[in-house]
Chain A
Amino acid sequence: MIRLENITKAFQTGTTVTKALDGVDLNVEKGKIYGVIGYSGAGKSTLVRTVNLLERPTEGKVYINDVELTGLSAGKLKKTRQRIGMIFQSFNLLKTGTVYQNIAVPLKLTGVPRKEIDSRVKKYLNIVGLEDKRDTYPGQLSGGQKQRVAIARALAHEPEVLLCDEATSALDPDTTESILSLLEQINQEFGITILLITHEMHVVQKICHEVAVMENGRVIERGRVVDLFSKPKTPTTKRFVQSLFQDDVPELLVKKLESKGQIVTLSFVGESSGKPALALLSKNFDIYPSILAGNITQLKDEPFGRLVVHLEGEETETRRAVMFLEEKGIGVEGYVQEVSTHVS
């Protein structure tokens, strides 16, 4: 559906050239919700803006439905953009227009017949749950309501793709939840492919099928959300995953425990989260497992659990125990104390 090939975006400031994007490839399948996560400055915002060419890449090609956007004339590009919805962190509504006008004006300007405009506005206001606000100005709406208007405005063009540029970053946690549910509903009901960028792992956890992690203008890790949660490879991804789990163990305790055994992080996905793995461990091996921290959470389609466990026992015995756990489909990793948290 969306295919980015070797996208590079270089900005020139004076004599120095900085690459905001450095050879990014991305493939978003039809009907999927794809998340791109990264700290600020990673290039994710530039990336989402290259999809509809608000930002023209210096190199590389953008395909939507196998049409190469980077090769289109200005007029054709405008036509294609009408099928690509976009919502923003700052909502970007007309202050001088009512909710109704905010949805109707762009429809009118893209040549939708007058009669249809009215029915479309009604339909999509209904979907976002703002029928009663049609004559209100954005200045009187809350952030969440403004984003709902922006979503209705995007949907009213009946797009195949919806791009979300930090759409929930300006909202409080409760409102974020409700907007995410709305996006999920849109994805399911209309089959609209969603590409969203965010710096909150929570957003990815809640609604994304797949995710790419960005750093310094490159995608450093990508895959199904479950895989990234259970087997994060890069330090950045690990940090993002860790940000969802409050499983820090006090440093002193770690030092003390490490002298007589090993501390490991176990991750349970789907079915394996229901098995009594630790009970079996102490029964089958000469090991005393004790839980230091733990958490279970719901990913988009399946539960995901994480335990920080101290395995007290001989080294060889511990190694066998770890192999046993891995056979059971449980991810095992050495416990790493979270290094200084990145502030974004």
Chain B
Amino acid sequence: MSARVSEFIDLWGADIWSAIIETFQMVGISLFISVLIGLPLGVLLVLTRPGKALDNKISFRLLNAVINVIRSIPFIILLFFILPFTKFIAGTTIGVKGVIVPLVVFTAPYIARLMESALLEVDRGVVEAYEAMGIKTRHIIWHVLVRESRSSIVLGLTIATIGLIGATAMAGLVGAGGLGDLAYRYGHLRYEVDVMYVTVFLLIVLVQGLQSFGNVMAARLKKD
């Protein structure tokens, strides 16, 4: 048994390791950029609503429509659909660098929606109390809206990250590698079932761990 394990590690260890690194890179970088774009978009979605601080029908509807359109396109199609745009932004359409752009385009609107629903949970009364104290809108956004919904935000980001890990599986199609690509190329196309099992197992551990971590964090941030 142990001999088989060490044989497997000798044979596939390096590939699996680099696949893990690639997955982490893709998820880490695109998550970071997606949050930078998605969180402000979520805030905008909440604030441009009728009756809110920046009440603006046109912006709200436009933003809503754009997010819905992007969210309608499955990632595997989006990946190819926006190739020219990817080329324009990243300078390349292949490798980890080439897949970050579509991953961000895919994830940022999703995060915007998740943030929107998290922020909408915040008690309107608290926001009103802060308005009544003469506090600036940008301060209210950070110190009331985001602060009060931080537990839901963390849960939302956990969901988004898991979705992102799923999307990276398709990144292999443009040569970006990662665990999903490994399982597909070696496990499926070359019938190396061991590789398939191991990658699936690793993905399960990764997702489980992430969800548990998210849950613990969210519970800790929640104070009521």
Q: Which residues from chain A sit less than 8 Å from chain B, CB to CB?
A: 52, 54, 77-82, 84, 86, 88, 90, 92-97, 105-106, 109-110, 137-139, 150, 154, 157, 163
Cβ–Cβ contact A92 & B134, under 8 A:
no
Query: Does B70 count as interface, using CB distance less than 8 angstroms?
Result: no
Cβ–Cβ contact A109 & B143, under 8 A:
yes
Indicate whether A138 sits within 8 Å of B224 (C-beta atoms), given known contacts A88-B125, A94-B148: yes
Cβ–Cβ contact A139 & B223, under 8 A:
yes
Cβ–Cβ contact A105 & B132, under 8 A:
no
Instruction: Count chain B CB atoms within 10 A of each CB in A77, A84, A97, A109 and give the residue with the most.
Output: A109
Contacts of A138 in B (CB 8 A): 223-224
Cβ–Cβ contact B125 & A92, under 8 A:
yes
Sample of 20 more A-B contacts, CB < 8 Å, known A52-B132, A137-B224: A54-B128, A54-B132, A80-B134, A82-B134, A84-B132, A86-B132, A88-B125, A93-B129, A94-B148, A95-B148, A96-B150, A96-B221, A96-B222, A109-B133, A109-B135, A109-B139, A110-B135, A137-B223, A138-B223, A139-B224
Chain A's nearest CB lies how many Å from the CB of B154?
12
What DSSP secondary structure best describes chain B's contact surface? Answer: helix
- The contact size tier of chain B is 20 to 34
Q: Which residues from chain B sit less than 8 Å from chain A, CB to CB?
A: 123, 125-126, 128-136, 139, 143-144, 147-148, 150-151, 221-224
Contacts of A105 in B (CB 8 A): 143
Q: CA A121 – CA B206 in complex, angstroms? A: 45
Cβ–Cβ contact A78 & B135, under 8 A:
yes
Chain A's nearest CB lies how many Å from the CB of B152?
11
Contacts of B129 in A (CB 8 A): 86, 88, 92-93, 150
Contacts of A79 in B (CB 8 A): 134
B123's closest neighbor in chain A, by CB? A92
Indicate whether A96 sits within 8 Å of B148 (C-beta atoms), given known contacts A88-B129, A137-B224, A138-B224: yes
Q: Please list the 8 inter-chain residue pairs (A to B) with the smallest Cβ-Cβ separation, ordered nearest first.
A: A81-B134, A139-B224, A92-B129, A78-B134, A82-B134, A92-B125, A137-B223, A86-B132
With beta carbons under 8 angstroms apart, the residue of A94, A95, A157 that contacts B133 is A157
18 contacts between A and B (CB under 8 A): A54-B128, A54-B131, A79-B134, A81-B131, A81-B133, A84-B132, A86-B133, A88-B128, A92-B129, A93-B126, A94-B148, A95-B224, A96-B221, A96-B222, A96-B223, A106-B130, A110-B134, A150-B129
Q: CA A138 – CA B123 in complex, angstroms? A: 14
Cβ–Cβ contact A96 & B147, under 8 A:
yes
Q: CA A127 – CA B143 in complex, angstroms? A: 26
Chain B's nearest CB lies how many Å from the CB of A103?
11
Q: CA A93 – CA B148 in complex, angstroms? A: 10
Q: CA A221 – CA B126 in complex, angstroms? A: 33
Indicate whether A106 sits within 8 Å of B135 (C-beta atoms), given known contacts A92-B123, A92-B128: yes
Q: CA A209 – CA B222 in complex, angstroms? A: 43
Q: CA A92 – CA B131 in complex, angstroms? A: 12
Cβ–Cβ contact A92 & B126, under 8 A:
yes
